[in-house]
Amino acid sequence: MRLVKKFKDIGLISSFSCLRKTLYLFYLQRRYGFNRWHVGADYHCKPYKKQVINIITSMSNIKFDIEVGCGLGDILSRVKVQDKIGIDIEQNVINCAKALLPNLLFQKGDLNAVGNYIGNKEGVVLIAINWTHNVDFKDLINVFLQIINQDSVNCYVVVDAIKPNVKGYKYKHSISEYGNYFNVSTIDGVDGVRSFLTLSKL
């Protein structure tokens, strides 16, 4: 039943691409030992990833892209930004991402590692998708304010917010909470679970 719903949701071509990539990722998971969640999370299987890429593509003057929780680099590899780095807490997934995408930079780390890479750059976008519901709001804001502050120029954070009626998530950081610190623009996620927020300077 879930396969039929997936087929209807993403269409014929994407379904076959999703199946093919899932089988390949199953093999890679056995080889590298990364978390099995990634096996079913390929770009072709998760239409929301295309939404994130479209959001980044619509931005101007972006020079540096940091993705925290990058996984196997599905989003990062498709974002057309010259300088970019993927950060993930799982060493095994970082090892696999480096093998799949040897021309990209990947490092093991968590949200707190962001400060090691931003320096004095302008035109920075931080992608923080599909994991912030496990992190306390104050911890998120402390790092996001390193990217977007009174001195920043063309700097953004792209984050998702779980919709209020969706159950099973530890935190549901609201759009209004983010609005206390940043200018917020939103679009609904295609999965019906989340909204995507682009945070920028007030």
CA 187 – CA 166 distance, rounded (Å): 17
Q: Are residues 37 and 58 in the same domain?
A: no
Asked if 35 and 91 count as a contact pair (C-beta separation under 8 A), the reply is no
Q: Are residues 7 and 37 in the same domain?
A: yes
CA 13 – CA 155 distance, rounded (Å): 35
CA 23 – CA 29 distance, rounded (Å): 10
CA 122 – CA 129 distance, rounded (Å): 22
The pLDDT confidence band at residue 14, using thresholds 50, 70 and 90, is confident
The pLDDT confidence band at residue 80, using thresholds 50, 70 and 90, is very high
The pLDDT confidence band at residue 4, using thresholds 50, 70 and 90, is very low
The total of structural domains in the chain comes to: 2
Q: Are residues 19 and 81 in the same domain?
A: no
Q: Are residues 24 and 60 in the same domain?
A: no
Q: Are residues 143 and 193 in the same domain?
A: yes
Residue 108: predicted pLDDT:
97
Q: Are residues 11 and 94 in the same domain?
A: no
Residue 109: predicted pLDDT:
96
Q: Give the CATH number, domain containing residue 79.
A: 3.40.50.150
Q: Are residues 101 and 155 in the same domain?
A: yes
Mean pLDDT of 53-77: 95
Q: Are residues 69 and 162 in the same domain?
A: yes
CA 147 – CA 115 distance, rounded (Å): 8
Tokens representing 200 are 């920028």
Q: Are residues 16 and 65 in the same domain?
A: no
pLDDT, mean over the chain: 91
Q: Are residues 35 and 54 in the same domain?
A: no
Which structural domain, as residue segments, surrounds residue 61? 47-200
